[in-house]
Each structure stands twice: as structure tokens, then as C-alpha cells.
Amino acid sequence: MASVEGAKDPESVYAIIVKDAKGNSVDLSNYRGKVLLIVNVASKCGMTNSNYTELNELHNKYKDKVFCVAGLEILAFPCNQFGEEEPGTNNEITEFVCTRFHSEFPIFEKIEVNGENASPLYKFLKKGKWEIFGDDIQWNFAKFLVDKNGQAVERYYPTTSPLSLERDIRKLLGMS
């Protein structure tokens, strides 16, 4: 019984519905069977360049089926909660990312990741056993890895570079 918000207490990301940059609903069960790297992004962060560059690199390397296993998808969620470094509209953000970085992974609608109005996806992601991280997302470019069963299995600080996740991604893809 998925509403636009998705299930109240989702058991996996597949029960969650998000919106794309145009406001259309996207059922995350569309990504069933893939390894997902979920990132809260911002366009005006001093670290925007290096993060997108490395995210693109990971995406290009692992997006397609590798050795007959489903590949990696990166889901980017713009968020303006950190230093107001994502002030633009959804259109401006998508255009910026597409023209500047030629990213091929989806950029979703701008959301909140912390607080009452945090998106159901982030409420779900943060619910895991992440003792050392505390509840809140610290800054732009925090990263979560979701396994092929839709469970958040790894969480990384914003300062962790995308490329340093490669080992964990390969493991989840069954390539290690």
C-alpha cells in the first residue's frame, strides 16, 4: 500500500518512493537487485568538484553489469541543509550537474536529510546501527551503500572519498 510517501515503516529502500527533479514519483523498487550508493549532494560546496568527479568514475566503472551481476547505481539527493550550499531550484541543480560533470546517474528532487522533515529515505537510512555516526548527517556528500536486498549496510562520513568505497562496492557486487 505505497502512498506517495511510501510505507510508514519500510523494511527496505524498495518500500520507499522518492521524487525525481521534475517532481515525478520514483519507486525505489525500480532499483531492486542493484548495489546503491546514496549521496546527499550540493553544488556550491568547495568539495563539489572532487566528489562528483569520483562519483562519475565509480559510476562509469560499475554501472553496467559486471561479470554477469547487476551493477552499481548512484542516487544523488540535493540538500540545502549544510551551509546553504545547494540554493538552486531542482532544474538549476540538474543542469549544473549535467553540464558541468556530465553525470549519468539520477539527481532527485531537493530534500531535507535531518530533522522533522527529513525524507523517508533518510529516516530509513539513518535508522541502522551507526553508533559512531550519531543520528544526523554531518555535511554534504555523506555516503550510504545499500546492498542487493535494499538494506543500508555501510555508512561513510562526508570526508570519505567516493573512490575509497570501491572495495566495499566490489564486495557487494560479488566481485571481490
Ligand X SMILES: *[C@@H]1O[C@H](CO)[C@@H](O)[C@H](O)[C@H]1NC(C)=O
Binding residues for ligand X, rule: CB under 6 A, are 45, 47, 50-51, 54, 139-141, 158-159, 161
In the bound complex, what is the minimum distance in angstroms from residue 50's beta carbon to ligand X?
4
Catalytic residue among 45, 68, 79, 98: 45
Query: CA 35, CA 122: separation in Å to the nearest integer?
Result: 17
- The answer to whether 43 and 93 are in contact (CB under 8 A) is yes
**What is the 3-state composition of the chain as percent helix, strand, coil, each rounded to the nearest 5?**
30, 20, 50
N- to C-terminal Cα distance for the chain? 37
> Catalytic: 98?
no
Query: Of 50 and 151, which CB lies nearer to ligand X in the complex structure?
Result: 50
In the bound complex, what is the minimum distance in angstroms from residue 131's beta carbon to ligand X?
21
CB atoms inside a 10 Å sphere around CB 22? 10
- The answer to whether 31 and 38 are in contact (CB under 8 A) is no
Query: Of 32 and 61, which CB lies nearer to ligand X in the complex structure?
Result: 61
In the bound complex, what is the minimum distance in angstroms from residue 161's beta carbon to ligand X?
3
Query: Of 29 and 161, which CB lies nearer to ligand X in the complex structure?
Result: 161
Amino acid at 61: K
Q: List, in order, residues 6 or more apart from 73 with CB less than 8 Å away.
A: 31, 34, 35, 36, 37, 59, 63, 105, 106
Query: Of 10 and 158, which CB lies nearer to ligand X in the complex structure?
Result: 158
In the bound complex, what is the minimum distance in angstroms from residue 37's beta carbon to ligand X?
13
**Active-site residues: which are they?**
45
